[in-house]
């Protein structure tokens, strides 16, 4: 019998009616002869509400106590879903993360799963029960409740699928899959029937928010196929899995973008060893993640250095750079918060050289200036003015025919 781990996100269990509908869906799947382990999130908005409650008492809530509080969101949902199933005549049993044996380290609010004891789940499945597990939480070696970081129910589901050697991990959410680009920006966006783990990581890391990044990484490491599906609409969803040989794939699979970038440009810095370290070391010491970095040769003996950080780190970066500017010579210091990053993503980029050229040509024809470029094996990213972002997305989506199923195919093996 197939063993499926399903995960329902917060919007899917956002009300009693929705929970009842999810129970119906589970019963239908069970009638198809599947063994089911179901992971649920807290009801929509509940975790935010709990975070706010904690903050109304304390500016910096104690991490251990915060976990005790946050874990209650999922505990409510598992019980309600189990009740809904029992009410409809389906044997079911709910467990918190700690009860079911999800062991984590002690890093409160961002714990990592170390191992899962699946014996209880196996016993319940053998008795024909649907097992319902609270997402986002576990227990450390001292018996403390831990949580896995926001969006962590995805990780719970993938980890359970790995521990149980499930046939598939299904992530039910409010969209019916992973799209070539955000359909809010490009109505021609198309659902991808499959996407590789590497592509998904680039798409997620560049702003496409369907699944928690850590969960996608985990799925790749454990080789667990993950399917993203809509709770509200029938359909095949998108299969996210490690790359297989001989798979026919488009050159470009999707476009990701991120409006939350801020750009810094340091002109006329000394072109000598140690300068980059003098600039970036204090930034990393302050836990600022620097995204794109481009250095070019400036006038005699100097260089120009441009880089981007997340918008939320803008003020901190600025204050650190002002200090750094007192110790090294910087001729001119410019910043721009109204920039965005756009990335073309696709495993087909590995074997195709002309994609960057086509991308730059399209942007040029649109009169859009490219401020910075960076590439990786399966991605080309550019920084451009935020005001031009949507125009750029649509032009590129059209040019690479992403709205059309499998027009340009390459064998990527
Ligand atoms: N309820 C948690 C959150 O909102 C975990 C999850 O939904 O995945 O972040
Ligand atoms: Mg989520």
pLDDT tens, position by position, 203-220: 887 666 788 999 999 999
Instruction: Tell whether 15 and 159 lie within a shared domain.
Output: yes
**CATH number for the domain that contains residue 293:** 3.30.2130.10
Nearest ligand, measured from the Cα of 157: 1
- Quote the pLDDT of residue 248: 63
pLDDT over 60 (residue 159): yes
Domain end position, chosen among 130, 158, 174: 174
The protein residue with its alpha carbon nearest to ligand 1, atom 5, reads 151
363-369 long-range contacts, Cβ below 8 Å, gap at least 24? 363/392, 363/395, 363/396, 365/395, 366/391, 366/392, 366/395, 368/392
Nearest ligand, measured from the Cα of 147: 1
Q: Which of the four pLDDT bands, split at 50, 70 and 90, describes residue 250?
A: confident
357-367 pLDDT, tens per residue? Answer: 999 999 999 99
Instruction: Tell whether 163 and 263 lie within a shared domain.
Output: no
Q: If you average pLDDT over residues 341-348, what whole number do you get?
A: 94
In a domain, 133, yes or no: yes
- CB of 136 within 6 A of ligand 1: the answer is yes
- Quote the pLDDT of residue 302: 92
In a domain, 364, yes or no: yes
- What distance in angstroms lies between residue 232's CA and the mean position of ligand 2's atoms? 16
258-300 pLDDT, tens per residue? Answer: 999 999 999 999 998 999 999 999 999 999 999 999 999 887 8
Instruction: Tell whether 52 and 164 lie within a shared domain.
Output: yes
Q: Under 8 Å CB-to-CB from 344, ≥6 apart: which residues?
A: 252, 255, 355, 359, 379, 380, 381, 396, 400
- CB of 11 within 6 A of ligand 1: the answer is no
- CB of 175 within 6 A of ligand 1: the answer is no
Best residue among 6, 138, 151 to mutate for probing ligand 1, ranked by most atoms within 8 Å of CB: 151
Yes or no: say if 239 and 397 are a contact pair by the CB < 8 Å rule. Answer: no
> Could you tell me what percent of the chain has a pLDDT over 90?
86
Nearest CA-CA partner of 333 in 319, 322, 349: 322
Instruction: Tell whether 274 and 382 lie within a shared domain.
Output: yes
- Give the number of the atom of ligand 1 that is nearest the alpha carbon of residue 9: 7
- What distance in angstroms lies between residue 142's CA and the mean position of ligand 1's atoms? 24
**CATH number for the domain that contains residue 127:** 3.40.1160.10
- Give the number of the atom of ligand 1 that is nearest the alpha carbon of residue 154: 8
- Quote the pLDDT of residue 409: 46
Domain end position, chosen among 141, 174, 207: 174
- Give the number of the atom of ligand 1 that is nearest the alpha carbon of residue 153: 8
Judged by DSSP in three states, 67 sits in: helix
Q: Across the chain, what does the average pLDDT equal?
A: 93
Best residue among 40, 135, 158, 172 to mutate for probing ligand 1, ranked by most atoms within 8 Å of CB: 135
In a domain, 212, yes or no: no
In a domain, 187, yes or no: no
> Could you tell me what percent of the chain has a pLDDT over 70?
96
Instruction: Tell whether 153 and 255 lie within a shared domain.
Output: no
- Quote the pLDDT of residue 299: 79
125-157 pLDDT, tens per residue? Answer: 999 999 999 999 999 999 999 999 999 999 999
Yes or no: say if 306 and 294 are a contact pair by the CB < 8 Å rule. Answer: yes
- What distance in angstroms lies between residue 212's CA and the mean position of ligand 2's atoms? 7
Q: If you average pLDDT over residues 76-101, what whole number do you get?
A: 98
Q: Which of the four pLDDT bands, split at 50, 70 and 90, describes residue 412?
A: very low
Output helix, strand, coil percentages for the chain, rounded to the nearest 5: 40, 30, 35
pLDDT over 70 (residue 43): yes
For the ranges 94-103, 157-166, 235-244, which has the lowest average pLDDT? 235-244
- CB of 14 within 6 A of ligand 1: the answer is no
In a domain, 201, yes or no: no
Domain end position, chosen among 174, 203, 233: 174
Q: If you average pLDDT over residues 363-385, what whole number do you get?
A: 95
- What distance in angstroms lies between residue 200's CA and the mean position of ligand 1's atoms? 20
* DSSP codes joined into one string, 14-32: SSHHHHHHHHHHHHHHHHT
Q: If you average pLDDT over residues 331-351, what whole number do you get?
A: 93
In a domain, 53, yes or no: yes
Q: How many domains does the chain have?
A: 2
- What distance in angstroms lies between residue 98's CA and the mean position of ligand 1's atoms? 17
For the beta sheet containing 168-173, the strands, ordered from the edge strand earlier in sequence to the opposite edge, are 92-95, 130-134, 35-40, 3-8, 168-173, 226-230, 238-241, 194-196
For the ranges 103-107, 170-174, 404-408, 409-413, which has the lowest average pLDDT? 409-413
- CB of 8 within 6 A of ligand 1: the answer is no
**Domain of 154?**
2-174
Instruction: Tell whether 272 and 412 lie within a shared domain.
Output: yes
* DSSP codes joined into one string, 327-357: HS--SEEEEEEEEEEEEEE-GGGGG-STHHH
- Quote the pLDDT of residue 154: 97
Instruction: Tell whether 302 and 413 lie within a shared domain.
Output: yes
Q: Which of the four pLDDT bands, split at 50, 70 and 90, describes residue 246?
A: low
- What distance in angstroms lies between residue 209's CA and the mean position of ligand 2's atoms? 9
- CB of 343 within 6 A of ligand 1: the answer is no
- Quote the pLDDT of residue 351: 85
Q: If you average pLDDT over residues 40-59, what whole number do you get?
A: 98
- CB of 61 within 6 A of ligand 1: the answer is no
How far apart (Å, rounded) are the C-alpha atoms in residues 119 and 100?
9
Q: Which of the four pLDDT bands, split at 50, 70 and 90, describes residue 247?
A: low
- What distance in angstroms lies between residue 237's CA and the mean position of ligand 1's atoms? 21
In a domain, 395, yes or no: yes
pLDDT over 90 (residue 405): no
Instruction: Tell whether 127 and 261 lie within a shared domain.
Output: no
- What distance in angstroms lies between residue 42's CA and the mean position of ligand 1's atoms? 6
- Quote the pLDDT of residue 411: 42
Instruction: Tell whether 170 and 258 lie within a shared domain.
Output: no
- What distance in angstroms lies between residue 258's CA and the mean position of ligand 1's atoms? 22
In a domain, 179, yes or no: no
Nearest ligand, measured from the Cα of 40: 1
Q: Residue 6: enclosing H or E segment and its boundaries? A: strand 3-8
Instruction: Tell whether 264 and 398 lie within a shared domain.
Output: yes
Q: Under 8 Å CB-to-CB from 261, ≥6 apart: which residues?
A: 291, 308, 309, 310, 311, 339, 340, 341, 383
């Amino acid at each position: 019998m197939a063993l499926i781990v399903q995960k329902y996100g917060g919007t899917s269990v956002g009300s009693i009616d929705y929970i009842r509908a999810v129970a119906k869906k589970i019963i239908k799947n069970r009638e198809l002869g599947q063994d089911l382990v179901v992971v649920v999130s807290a009801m929509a908005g509940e975790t935010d509400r709990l975070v706010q409650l904690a903050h109304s008492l304390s500016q910096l809530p104690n991490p251990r106590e915060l976990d005790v509080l946050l874990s209650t969101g999922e505990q409510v949902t598992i019980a309600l879903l189990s009740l809904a199933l029992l009410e409809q005549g389906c044997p079911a049993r709910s467990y918190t993360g700690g009860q079911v044996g999800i062991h984590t380290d002690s890093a409160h609010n961002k714990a990592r799963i170390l191992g899962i004891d699946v014996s209880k789940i196996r016993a319940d499945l053998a008795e024909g029960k649907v097992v319902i597990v609270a997402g986002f939480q576990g227990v450390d070696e001292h018996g403390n409740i831990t949580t896995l970081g926001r969006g962590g129910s995805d990780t719970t589901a993938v980890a359970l699928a790995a521990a149980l050697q499930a046939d598939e991990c299904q992530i039910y959410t409010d969209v019916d899959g992973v799209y070539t680009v955000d359909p809010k920006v490009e109505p021609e966006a198309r659902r991808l029937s499959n996407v590789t783990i590497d592509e998904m990581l680039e798409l997620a890391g560049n702003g496409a928010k369907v699944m928690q990044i850590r969960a996608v990484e985990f799925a790749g490491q454990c080789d667990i196929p993950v399917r993203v599906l809509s709770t509200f609409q029938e359909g095949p969803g998108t299969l996210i899995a490690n790359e297989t040989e001989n798979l026919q794939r488009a050159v470009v699979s999707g476009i990701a973008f991120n409006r939350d970038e801020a750009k810094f440009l340091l002109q006329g810095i000394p072109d000598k060893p140690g300068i980059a370290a003098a600039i970036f070391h204090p930034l990393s010491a302050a836990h600022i993640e620097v995204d794109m970095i481009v250095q070019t040769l400036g006038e005699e003996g100097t260089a120009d250095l441009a880089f981007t950080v997340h918008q939320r780190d803008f003020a901190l970066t600025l204050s650190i750079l002002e200090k750094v500017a007192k110790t090294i010579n910087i001729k001119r210091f410019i910043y721009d918060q109204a920039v965005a990053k756009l990335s073309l993503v696709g495993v087909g980029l590995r074997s195709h050289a002309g994609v960057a050229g086509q991308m730059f040509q399209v942007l040029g024809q649109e009169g859009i200036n490219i401020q910075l470029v960076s590439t990786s094996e399966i991605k080309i990213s550019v920084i451009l003015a935020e005001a031009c972002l949507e125009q750029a997305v649509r032009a590129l989506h059209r040019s690479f025919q992403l709205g059309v199923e499998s027009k340009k195919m390459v064998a990527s093996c």
